[in-house]
């Protein structure tokens, strides 16, 4: 996990505002992922990207957007359309095909007031 | 959505007791992974199993993949306070997607 950074650790926003969460990795990994974690529900996949300039929706993509303009960066925007945005957001990465282990960043805890 | 069921959801044990969490699927899995998340932390990869009937050990932790590749278990012998956290199973789906179980929360009383 040492090569993945997420900032900030805690984030507070007012309802109706868009907010972008940062995720950077220096592991030279091809694939990157965003998960949302709520108490008792495990990790749910929001978006993932297998290569630069390409990404796919996960199970709960509504109200979120991403970009993958650089291999090392995969920012997540939580839009005002997300009805319940308060959660713990985790970014992960893994090497390309043939490697299944995912490496997680420390997470960002977003609270929308 | 999640296609692996983890039980129990929560377990509170006395230090020194054993602990087991189970992961069950209705379909055959190509692989199963286990992660540990400490309170306030992020998931950390523990192990991956890919072969039918595979058993792997890491010190006090024993991981097993069922013969039919539809279930897996994680067993901790003689729990310690450092074992507290949430244990997740996960499997790699088509398209490089990792699907997680809901996790088992382990608390250890000293």
Residue A72's pLDDT is: 97
- State which H helix or E strand residue B34 sits in: strand B32-37
Q: Which positions ≥6 away from B103 have C-beta within 8 Å?
A: A42, B6, B9, B37, B86, B87, B88
pLDDT of residue B54: 97
Residue in chain A closest to B46 (alpha carbons) equals A101
- The pLDDT of residue B1 is 47
Cis peptide bond prior to B8, omega within 30° of 0: yes
For residue B60, the distance in angstroms to the closest alpha carbon of chain A comes to 21
Using DSSP's 3-state secondary structure scheme, residue A61 falls into: coil
In degrees, to the nearest 5, what angle opens at C-alpha B55 toward C-alphas B61 and A42?
60
Count of A-B CB contacts under 8 Å: 53
Write out the two tokens for B53. 């009937």
Asked if B91 and B33 count as a contact pair (C-beta separation under 8 A), the reply is yes
pLDDT of residue A54: 95
Nearest residue to B6 (alpha-carbon basis) of B103, B107, B106, B110: B103
Are the Cβ atoms of B42 and A104 closer than 8 angstroms?
yes
**Least Cα separation, residue B50 to chain A (angstroms):** 11
User: Could you list the pLDDT tens digit for every one of the 110 residues in chain B?
Assistant: 448 999 999 999 999 999 999 999 999 999 999 999 999 999 999 999 999 999 999 999 999 999 999 999 999 999 999 999 999 999 988 777 899 999 999 999 99
Tell if the CB–CB gap between B44 and A102 is shorter than 8 Å: no
Mutate to test the interface with A, among B9, B43, B48, B85 (most CBs of A within 10 A): B43
**Cross-chain Cβ contact A105/B44 below 8 Å:** no
Given A41, A94, A100, which is nearest B31 (Cβ)? Answer: A100
Residues A16 and A73 sit within 8 Å (Cβ to Cβ): no
Gap between the Cα atoms of B32 and B7, Å rounded: 15
Residue ranges in chain A whose pLDDT is less than 50? 1
Coil vs helix vs strand at A62:
coil
pLDDT reported for residue A98: 75
């Amino acid at each position: 996990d040492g090569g993945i950074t997420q900032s900030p650790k805690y984030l507070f926003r007012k309802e109706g505002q868009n907010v972008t969460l940062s995720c950077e990795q220096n592991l030279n990994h091809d694939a990157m992922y965003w998960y949302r974690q709520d108490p008792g529900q495990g990790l749910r996949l929001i978006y993932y990207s297998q290569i630069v300039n390409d990404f796919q929706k996960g199970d709960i993509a509504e109200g979120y957007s991403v970009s993958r303009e650089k291999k090392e960066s995969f920012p997540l925007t939580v839009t005002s359309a997300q009805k319940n945005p308060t959660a713990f957001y985790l970014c992960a990465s893994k090497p390309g095909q043939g490697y299944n282990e995912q490496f997680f960043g420390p997470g960002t805890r977003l609270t929308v007031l | 959505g999640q296609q692996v069921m983890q039980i129990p959801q929560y377990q509170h044990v006395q230090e020194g007791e054993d602990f087991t969490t189970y992961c069950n699927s209705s379909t055959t899995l190509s692989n199963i992974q286990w992660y540990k998340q400490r309170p306030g932390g992020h998931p950390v990869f523990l192990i991956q199993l890919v072969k039918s009937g595979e058993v792997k050990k890491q010190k006090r932790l024993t991981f097993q993949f069922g013969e039919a590749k539809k279930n897996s278990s994680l067993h901790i012998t003689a729990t310690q306070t450092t074992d507290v956290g949430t244990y997740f199973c996960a499997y790699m789906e088509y398209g490089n997607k990792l699907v997680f179980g809901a996790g088992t929360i382990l608390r250890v009383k000293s």
